[in-house]
Every structure is written in structure tokens, then in C-alpha cells.
Amino acid sequence: MKYSTIRNLSFDVDDYVNPYLPRSQVYRLPRCIAWFLGYRKTPRKDVGNVLIWWWSFFGAFCGIAAVCAIFKYSGALKHANPPIIIASFGASAVLEYGVIGSPLGQPRNCILGHFLSALSGICITKLFKYSDNFEEIKWLAGAVAVGLASSVMTFTNTAHPPGGATALLAAIDPDVEAMGWTLLPYVLIGTSVMLGIALLVNNIQRTFPVFWWTPRDVGGRLWNQEQSHQPDLEALEEQKITHATDHGILVDVKVSETGLSGQHYIGNSPPVLLPPVIARSSLSMRSTSLDTTLDRQITSQDSISANSENTMVHDGAR
């Protein structure tokens, strides 16, 4: 294999996973719930950095305090003699409560990054423990653990810098090392608690998360399969066109006898160009004004037509 071939070799796991993931349905939830899951009908103006200083402090305090209290006082968790907190969570707090727009601090990265790093650290440590001279080469186990964790996070698109510290602690910190496989559920509990607090605190005056899984489009294969059978127009029934929720909020809607078109904006990301909006030829319009409703009649003989061109649609918060 030539050097140039190796140099340009690339693989992205999301190219194979994302097409089969369901699209976000957060926008269908009640507004009071969707709000704290990061959904916004329109982009929200950023707050000044002085408020960010305050919310960063308040969020980090609440997140770390909650995890410490759970680890220290929960009877169900004390049997493993865990440390009062896993030190790497402190670094995660900066990303989750301070730099909340960073891709490295989104839910997928925070939870899976820590978990996969802890798993890497535990596996490497147990392998090195087969040596009778483990205490003398523990430093080497730590280096290998961090290297493996970094590679795994990069491969899975879950890069989270504090995860490297989690892998290192699993190899060289006596208290964390002694937990063995028990470290994994503790990491999941800690990261989930911190994420829950981040959703509450960060959405008071800001927007979090930027995305749940990826900023890229998901569900392409599922979407194509759905459209090849019968498009779901249920959300258009008895809804104002300007507030249609089949694919979120539609604006600049144009109505014709066979279809409708519009631009769709969710969150802070630009709209994504997708295939034309599917409409049924049997749709009967009461009016073509934006504030009218659609009366839909569905029969097994309904034909599907696509009449919109250059339609801009963007999915809800991922």
C-alpha cells in the first residue's frame, strides 16, 4: 500500500450509524419540557459574557456538589468505597456549564467519552496487573490507557478531553483502580447527574445542548423508507400552516393545489436542503392564506406528488 493511500485513508463511523437513527422528536413535547431539552422555535440571542460567568459558576457548583453528595451519602453506592468524586468530572464541569457551545461538551461526548475512557482504563489496568511488577510499571499502564481512550473517543466521535483523565485515574489512582468494573456505573451516574443539571441551568438564559447526537443530519435511510410508502401528514391536520409540526415550524409557506413549500429553521444551525415536501393530490384547501387550516382526506387510493422545488427544511434539535 502506497504512503499516499495510507495518508488519505479516512473512516467516519457516523456515516454508517446516522442514517439509521431516528430523527429528534423533542419538538413534539410540551413546550415547558422541550425548552429544557434545548429546543427553540427560533434562534435565541446570546447573553453577555458577564451572565456566562455567573451561570458557569452556579452550574459547576450545583453539578459537582450533587455528584459529591450522591457518592458520599447514597447507601447503595457506598459499598464500593468510591472516592468522593472522580476528579475528571471537574474538567467536564467547565465544558458543560461554561463553554456550552463546544462540540466536546455535548451530551453524547460527555457521557460516552467518560464511559469509553473508563472502560479503556480498566481493561489496560487489568492486563498490566498480570505482571508481578505492576506497581513499578503502573505509569506505563496509565500512558497506554490514555492513548487507547483518545483513540477510541476519536473513532466513535465522542471526544471529551476530561475522558482522558478518567482513563488515567483508572490506571494510577489507587482508590479508582480498586473499584475495577464498578467504576463504569459510577461514571454513568455521575455524568448523567451533571448532564441533568446542565439541562436545567443552561436553558434558563442560554440554549443547551447544541445537539444531542451529532450536528449532522440523521435518519436518512429511515426517512427514505417512510417517504417511499406513505408520508406522515397527521401533524398537518387541523393545524395552522404557519405552525405545522410535521417537520417543525414552517415559515414563508406557499400553498398550491398539490403541495406546499417553505423554509424550516430550528435552533442556531442554517436550514438544510432536503427533497421537496411530499403532498397528497387529494388535499383540499379551504383557503390559501397562511392562517387557514388544512382539511385532509386520506384514502387508500391517495396519490403522492412532490411539487415543491428548492424547499429548505431543517430537523428539530438533535
For 213-255, how does the pLDDT look when each residue is reduced to its tens digit (9 = 90+)?
999 888 876 656 555 555 444 444 444 444 443 444 444 444 4
How many domains is the chain partitioned into structurally?
2
Q: CA 262, CA 216: separation in Å to the nearest integer?
A: 21
Q: What is the pLDDT of residue 227?
A: 56
Q: Whole-prediction pTM value?
A: 0.70
258 with 159, same domain? no
Q: Is residue 111 part of a domain?
A: yes
Chain centroid to Cα 260, Å, comes to 31
Distance, first Cα to last Cα, the chain: 39
Amino acid at 6: I
| pLDDT average, residue stretch 310-315 | 40
Q: What is the pLDDT of residue 301?
A: 37
128 with 196, same domain? yes
pLDDT in tens, 46-57: 899 999 999 999
Domain housing 113: 45-202
188 with 276, same domain? no
86 with 185, same domain? yes
Q: What is the pLDDT of residue 136?
A: 95
Q: What is the pLDDT of residue 81?
A: 86
